[in-house]
Amino acid sequence: MQRIKLGKSDLEVPVICLGGNVFGWTMSEADSFRQLDVALEAGLNFIDTADVYSRWVPGHQGGESEAILGKWLAKGNKRSNVILATKVGIEMGEGKKGLAPAYIEQAVEDSLRRLQTDYIDLYQAHKDDEHTPLEETLAAFDKLVMQGKVRHIGASNYSGARLAKALQVSKDNGLVSYISVQPQYNLVAREDFETHLLPVVQEHTLGVIPYYSLAAGFLTGKYRSKKDADGKARGGTVGKYLNDWGWNVLRALDEVASAHKSTPARVALAWLMVQPGVTAPIASATSDQHLTDLIEATRLKLDHASIQKLNTVSTPAVAAKA
């Protein structure tokens, strides 16, 4: 599997990142272990999770995904073969949220314990915390890197302006700097990243690991009508795409997939992998077919005409008219 440097770091990652949000949510522990084994065997060893996964499930506290990953890592001494990314900042309970130094110090210890490891390859601010000065947050991350508990840091859900400011704060204060950003970016959600974040990414040579790469499953083609989304775990999330514009995007995906003897999911990921700035799209898999699509997407080379067709049908200007 092709590998690429994550920003200016020494991390060489595969061109697809396996999303861990489904572990302990829509996938059992046993199925998660099996999927992780297959992914690792295929060379897909970059895994992204977060401390808050999957707190939204009734009866869960958060940390379920990390705990499953930790058990899997402990089986067969896999840690040195995995590039592990997790996140901090979204509420985990009373007083457990944000990017204040004291909370980061507590949260990283909790994540390390659940993951059964003594270091995290990429520790990411899950979302911006405007109540905590950037200097304090970055100093806390700097301390973790100096201690060897974290190798690199990244940002998720930052605006372009705040990301640029954070990078300047690191430079001005001699602190560790974000090497990557994790934005929402896919064929049907382009404008924010391309307009506000991409210029910062390119100026500072950051890695980009987009989440919702398949638009919560919409770009797989599984939602062909509003009825298809009714009662589904992510039915509400995809609702904004269930319109004429969204159907046109799916139609173009179908046409390109047919021409390449492929699937809409593979085409959507292949398109994303060749977009400026993108390092490794994050995608989750809840079945063997989904995982096969992720692996095969890394081998799919789209021709210029196919890329242009997808660019045109999904352009933000077209979406705005829908």
Average pLDDT over residues 113-121: 98
Question: Residue 279 pLDDT > 90, yes or no?
Answer: yes
For residues 143-155, average pLDDT: 98
> Which range, of 107-116, 212-221, 258-267, 312-321, averages the lowest pLDDT?
312-321
pLDDT (0 to 100) of residue 1: 86
**Does the pLDDT at position 234 exceed 60?**
no
User: Domain locations in the chain?
Assistant: 3-182
SS (H, E, C) the chain: CCEEECCCCCCEEECCEEECCCECCCECHHHHHHHHHHHHHCCCCEEECCCCCCCCCCCCCCCHHHHHHHHHHHCCCCHHHCEEEEEECCCCCCCCCCCCHHHHHHHHHHHHHHHCCCCEEEEEECCCCCCCCHHHHHHHHHHHHHHCCEEEEEEECCCHHHHHHHHHHHHHHCCCCEEEEECECECCECHHHHHHHHHHHHHHCCEECCECCCHHHHHHCCCCCHHHHCCCCCHHHHHHHCCHHHHHHHHHHHHHHHHCCCCHHHHHHHHHHCCCCCCCCEECCCCHHHHHHHHHHCCCCCCHHHHHHHHHHHCHHHHHHC
Q: Which CATH number fits domain 3-182: 3.20.20.100, 2.60.40.10, 3.40.50.800, 3.20.20.450?
A: 3.20.20.100
Per-residue model confidence as pLDDT tens digits over 45-79: 999 999 999 999 999 999 999 999 999 999 988 99
Average pLDDT (266-295) is 96
Catalytic residue among 53, 158, 211, 241: 53
Q: What is the pLDDT of residue 140?
A: 98
Which pLDDT band holds residue 316 (cuts at 50, 70, 90)?
confident
- Note the pLDDT of residue 235: 52
| pLDDT reading at 239 higher than 80 | yes
How high is the pLDDT of residue 78? 94
Q: What is the pLDDT of residues 259-278, one digit of tens each?
A: 999 999 999 999 999 999 99
Annotation says 212 is catalytic: no
Say what the pLDDT of residue 76 is. 87
Residue with the larger pLDDT of the pair 198 and 232? 198
